[in-house]
Amino acid sequence: MPSIPPWFFEAVETPSESAVVEVEECDVAWRAWGAPGAPGLLLIHGMNAHSHWWDFIAPALAANRRVAAMDLTGMGDSDYRYEYDAATYAKEILAVCDAAGFASEVILVGHSFGGNMAAKAANLFPERFGALILADSGLRHPDEPPPEMPPMGGRAKVYPDRQTALGRFRLQPPQPCANAYILEYIARHSLMPADGGWTWKFDEDLPNTLRGTERQPEDYANLRLPVGLIYGADSALFSERTRAYMQELIPGKTPAVAIPDAQHHLFLDQPLAFITAVQEMCRTLGCW
């Protein structure tokens, strides 16, 4: 296995603050780096992920900003709900921004499903956010066939011990990742004790109770804030045709950056390139 680079140790050992905010009778967990009062940036994870996916990304972005990362309900350390919907997720995003003390220039950075929910929030609360960066997140052209992917969800397995569970960690949607140390770090923060064993930190009923999260063209056509696209050049979910379609849908100029040698989980494949891309995109959008 390649040696773990020093920058990674430094990043994940950077202290962060932890808190919760209540939204519709559920606690939403969030964490923050950087000086309180600095301009805000919120990182929003993908499906079945959590805030620790950003531990090696957030500290670099917090050099001159206050950076927060949240756990959407049903995932990570946030509470589970009987059912989930896009409007509630949008309220959770808003509540974390308020709890973190972010002003209206806050930048939303959402990966995959998190980007979808960030777009929903920007539509529902258009005056609250300053810019939106979609990380391998968007809407495929209606004539472009979707890639074949195994369904997400199913009954969560309880593993007899932590080490066995760690050995079963897989990215969804499936893809290889050369940075095994990143996968191991995320896996270690994705487990919780259950029934005498270990299981993953997400609600196994979430896919079956999720409502109103389908992506629609108007979700992007109605956006009224600066939007940037960052995607993996080798992503199975975000093609050049998707990029062109998104730029047609979103009003105004929408800059886009493809990260070489990166797939859908682009910031796991190329973390340093992703950090640079976010910083440069913020400058391009006029909010850095």
Rounded to whole angstroms, the Cα distance separating 3 from 237 reads 30
Task: Say which residue the tokens 């949240």 belong to.
Answer: 70
Report field, pTM of the whole predicted structure over 0.85: yes
Tell me if residue 110 falls in helix, strand or coil: strand
Domain ranges for the chain, please list them. 17-141+214-284
| Per-residue pLDDT at 259 | 98
Tell me if residue 98 falls in helix, strand or coil: helix
Q: Are strands 84-85 and 40-44 parallel, antiparallel or unpaired?
A: unpaired
What rounded mean pLDDT belongs to the chain? 95
Judged against a pLDDT cut of 90, whether residue 283 lies above it is answered with: yes
- Helix (H) and strand (E) counts for the chain? 11, 12
Judged against a pLDDT cut of 70, whether residue 156 lies above it is answered with: no
| Per-residue pLDDT at 146 | 81
| Per-residue pLDDT at 106 | 97
CA distances from 189 to 7, 67, 206, 267 (A): 19, 19, 19, 17
Q: Please state whether the peptide bond connecting residue 150 to the residue before it is cis, i.e. omega within 30 degrees of 0.
A: no
| Per-residue pLDDT at 178 | 96
Judged against a pLDDT cut of 90, whether residue 155 lies above it is answered with: no
Average pLDDT in the 1-13 region?
Answer: 91
Q: Are strands 26-33 and 17-23 parallel, antiparallel or unpaired?
A: antiparallel
Q: Which of 87-91, 98-102, 119-123, 192-196 has the lowest mean pLDDT?
A: 192-196
Average pLDDT in the 73-77 region?
Answer: 98
Q: Say if CB 128 and CB 104 are below 8 A apart.
A: yes
Average pLDDT in the 220-249 region?
Answer: 98
Model confidence pLDDT, tens digit, residues 10-69: 999 999 999 999 999 999 999 999 999 999 999 999 999 999 999 999 999 999 999 999
**Higher pLDDT residue, 153 or 166?**
166
**Higher pLDDT residue, 153 or 117?**
117
Superfamily of domain 17-141+214-284: Alpha/Beta hydrolase fold, catalytic domain (3.40.50.1820)
